[in-house]
Structures are given as C-alpha cells and as structure tokens.
Amino acid sequence: MAAGMLLRGATLLDGRRWEPQSDRDVVIEGGRITAVGKGCSAAQTVLDCRGLTVMPGLIDCHVHLSVTGGPDFLREARDPLAFVAWRAAKHARDTLQAGFTTVRSLGDRDYVTVHLREAVAEGLVEGPRIVTAGLPICMTGGHGWLFGSREADGADGVRQAVREQLKAGADVIKLIATGGVLTPGVQPGAPQLTRAELEAGVEEAHKAGRRAAAHAQGAEGIRNAVLAGIDSIEHGFYLEEDTASLMATRGTYLVPTFSALRNILAHGTSAGLAEYVVQKAATVSTAQVESFQRALAAGVRVALGTDAGTPFNYHGANAQELGHMVEAGLPVARALAAATSEAATLLGLDHEIGTIDVGKAADLIVVDGDPLADVRILADQARIVAVIARGRLLRCTHPARVTGLSGRSV
Ligand SMILES: [Zn+2]
C-alpha cells in the first residue's frame, strides 16, 4: 500500500472556483497535495470524506497572537516575557484547531511571534504557519506605543526601524498611519506617520522583498498609506471614494477587521472595558460598514482579518469575521476567497497555500456542511471535522472515519 493520506469522496471547494465538485479525492504525500481527482489509489491512511466538504485551510491576515482577548490589555502589555510566549503558544494552538492553518500576526511584543514561528516550524509547538511583523512602527506617542511598538520619527528614523524588524526576522512590516481605538489619548481619525515616513517604510520593506501593512483608520492616513505604496490597509474605517478607487487600481487590499469593533461593542464597559475604548469604537462603527461598502463598490480586494487578541476577540473564534463581512455586503463566495486564495495572495504565499492544487502545501479543512450555503458554519468548531496542516492530521472529531493512521505525519 502506498504511503501518504487519501481524503476520499469529498465535496471539494478548491479555492479557485466556488462551485462544489462532488466525489473528489485528495492525495497528500510528504506534506503536499500530490493528486486531486476521482478514484485515486488508496494511501496508507484514508479519511472517509463522503458527505463532507474539503476546502483550503483558512487564513487570518490580522491577529495578535501574544494577547488574550481579555479586557485588560494594558496590563497584558506589561506581563513577563516568558509568560507572554507561553500564552502566544496556546493561542497558536487554539487558532489551528479552529481550522486556521495560516495567520499573519501584525504586532507583538519583543519578537515573541518571530520565535513562535520558528518553534511551530520545528514542530516544538502546534500552531498555524505564522507570518509576522515583529514590532509595529509608530510615531513617538503614536498608536500602539504602550503595547511595545517601535517609535520612530522622520523618514530616516522609520527606515532604521524597518531595518531593525527585518534584522530580527520580520516577514512583513506594520506601519501605523493613524490613531487607534485601544491607545488612550489618540484619535482613530488623526493621521500619524506622515506620507514621507510611510514612503520610506514601504520602500525599505519592498527592497527586502517584504510586504507592508498599514494600520489606517482615518481618511487622511488611509490616503497617505495608499499613496506611499502600502500593500494592505488594516481597518480602513473612514475610506473615501477616491481613495477606494485608487486602492482598486493599485491592487491594495482592505483587511476590514469587523470582529474587533463588534466584540468591543457587544461587551462594553460592564465587561471591564475602559470608557474611552467603548466610546471610540461606537464612534467609528457605522463609518466602518459604509467604508467597506464603498470599497466593494470600487472593486477593492478584500482579505480576512479579525484583529484577534483585541478585547473579547478570541483566538480560535476567527471565523466569526466571515459572517460579519457577509452581513456587511460581501457575497459568500468572495468571503470564502478572502479567507483563502485572496489572503494567500496578500501574504505573497499564493504559490504555497490558499487553493487545493497539486504541488501546494497540504493545509486543508474538512467541514460538516456547505459553507457556500451558510458561511457561519465555519465558526462552529463542531462542524470543523478535521484540520490538516502541512500534511499532518491535527484534529479529527470523527476518528471512525480514519483508517490506517499509524503516525500523525504523512
Ligand atoms: Zn491589530
């Protein structure tokens, strides 16, 4: 009998065409997809997927693995580093168990997620593939300074800060273009790093073959970041029509992070959140939905991001964002693409993940139900029957469906 794993008889959503293909087999060997079709020969391990959907592993383009999602984020920013690392490892595992096989962690203290990425890659810790920014770069006193961001001023200062992140092992550069909700004393609408500073930061990232993401909420800051050549606008709460058109033309992604505001507003001060956080979230919430619809009308590309780790926005609940995006007007098929193929393209990993194709990494999930009919089922962990990451079967809630599983690695 051949080695490897066979997913037999699945309804396939391959991540390219969002039409179910029935009775398909997927063969996995050496951590990669080696065949997709009908009547593939039996492998050592067979997972019976008849009546189930197989689709690409989900991708969250905006998380913070080092923080919990508790209300006291200012205290968490001062927790001892070793404790923060253990915490991040737990969050990585929770995320993977929920079917997210790749995340982009956009800002964590002290390079914790750079080292966590290595620990996951070496098999020391169970977690998703991690793309990480290291420290976000903000102006002196800018959004995030209390959470361990790297403060930098002037184009040369930002260049140096970007170079430090690259030296420390960052995969992507995060630049703070405006104020934000969680930092006291700054306003989401206010521009922060200037266009010249953003341009310098983007140039240093691109020179090194890395992408750059901007935390950008107010209109002027969003525009500055887009004109500076940023690859993705994170949040984008006050997006103007002409900037949206510019994003569509340039291929700049929007990562809307609905989950962040929704969870803050669903819990409020009675759950322990500071007054200023709830007030700011309430102020920007309506604008966020309108901006998202403006982006869709202009044809802006969208990738899924939750901002998991922000208050009550828990690691492992990442798929809630799909429901929020659909509710705000994104067609279901596009929401699924935003969580798979589009996200992979934003991360520059579309040659490796995001679709089910021969030669790609075997990052797959097996779902009980049809996500095209109801995208919200992906947020129900009981419906995620199996998670396969880099060819390893990490979670299977229907063990009777598996035969011949001798080791966890195929
Ligand atoms: Zn964030």
Residue 55 alpha carbon to ligand 1 centre in Å: 27
Whether 33 and 139 share a structural domain: no
Q: How far lies 260's CA from each of 73, 183, 239, 278, 309, in Å?
A: 13, 14, 17, 11, 9
Per-residue pLDDT band at 406 (split at 50, 70, 90): low
Domain presence at residue 151: yes
Residue 382 alpha carbon to ligand 1 centre in Å: 28
Residue 179 alpha carbon to ligand 1 centre in Å: 12
Domain presence at residue 410: no
Asked if the model's pLDDT at residue 143 lies above 50, the reply is yes
Residue 305 alpha carbon to ligand 1 centre in Å: 9
- Contact predicate 273/267, CB 8 Å: yes
Residue 107 alpha carbon to ligand 1 centre in Å: 7
Whether 42 and 96 share a structural domain: no
Whether 79 and 47 share a structural domain: no
pLDDT per residue as tens digits for the range 59-70: 999 999 999 999
pLDDT per residue as tens digits for the range 292-319: 999 999 999 999 999 999 999 999 999 9
From the centroid of its chain, how far is CA 219? Answer: 23
Residue 177 alpha carbon to ligand 1 centre in Å: 13
Question: What's the mean pLDDT in 372-386?
Answer: 96
Domain presence at residue 409: no
Domain boundary among 297, 315, 346: 346
Query: Residue-wise over 284-313: b if at least 16 C-beta within 10 A, else e?
Result: beebbbebbebbbebebbbbbbbbbbbbbb
Tell me the CATH number at 210: 3.20.20.140
CA gap 190, 180 in Å, rounded = 9
Residue 307 alpha carbon to ligand 1 centre in Å: 5
Domain presence at residue 374: yes
Residue 52 alpha carbon to ligand 1 centre in Å: 34
Least confident of 113-122, 252-261, 401-410: 401-410
Asked if the model's pLDDT at residue 339 lies above 70, the reply is yes
Ligand 1 (ion): residues with CB under 5 Å are: 307
Residue 309 alpha carbon to ligand 1 centre in Å: 8
Question: What's the mean pLDDT in 246-257?
Answer: 98
For position 2, what pLDDT does the model report?
A: 56
Domain presence at residue 19: yes
What is the count of structural domains for the chain? Answer: 2
For position 44, what pLDDT does the model report?
A: 83
Whether 33 and 177 share a structural domain: no
Collapsed DSSP state (helix, strand, coil) of residue 120:
helix
Domain presence at residue 408: no
Tell me the CATH number at 384: 2.30.40.10
Dihedrals φ, ψ of 98, to 5°? -85, 5
Q: What one-character DSSP code corresponds to residue 329?
A: T
What's the alpha-carbon Rg for the chain, to the nearest Å? 21
Full residue range of the structural domain in which residue 222 is found = 58-346
Domain presence at residue 138: yes
Domain boundary among 301, 319, 346: 346
Strand 211-216 relative to strand 253-255, pairing:
unpaired
Q: What percent of the chain has pLDDT over 70?
A: 98
Whether 212 and 342 share a structural domain: yes
Residue 180 alpha carbon to ligand 1 centre in Å: 9
Residue type at 155? A
Is the pTM here over 0.95, yes or no?
yes
Per-residue pLDDT band at 165 (split at 50, 70, 90): very high
For position 1, what pLDDT does the model report?
A: 46
Dihedrals φ, ψ of 321, to 5°? -60, -30
Residue 64 alpha carbon to ligand 1 centre in Å: 6
Domain presence at residue 377: yes
Per-residue pLDDT band at 320 (split at 50, 70, 90): very high
pLDDT per residue as tens digits for the range 200-231: 999 999 999 999 999 999 999 999 999 999 99
Whether 84 and 181 share a structural domain: yes
Domain boundary among 346, 367, 389: 346
pLDDT per residue as tens digits for the range 265-289: 999 999 999 999 999 999 999 999 9
Residue 151 alpha carbon to ligand 1 centre in Å: 16
Whether 6 and 86 share a structural domain: no
Whether 336 and 360 share a structural domain: no
The structure tokens 């029509």 sit at 241
Whether 265 and 183 share a structural domain: yes
Whether 290 and 380 share a structural domain: no
Residue 62 alpha carbon to ligand 1 centre in Å: 6
Closest CA to 16 of 49, 61, 52, 55: 55
Question: What's the mean pLDDT in 334-363?
Answer: 98
For position 307, what pLDDT does the model report?
A: 98
Mean pLDDT taken over the chain = 95
For position 23, what pLDDT does the model report?
A: 96
Q: How far lies 82's CA from each of 66, 78, 125, in Å?
A: 11, 12, 15
Whether 39 and 72 share a structural domain: no
pLDDT per residue as tens digits for the range 180-193: 999 998 999 999 99
CA gap 12, 21 in Å, rounded = 5
CA gap 44, 27 in Å, rounded = 11
Whether 226 and 330 share a structural domain: yes
Question: What's the mean pLDDT in 41-55?
Answer: 90
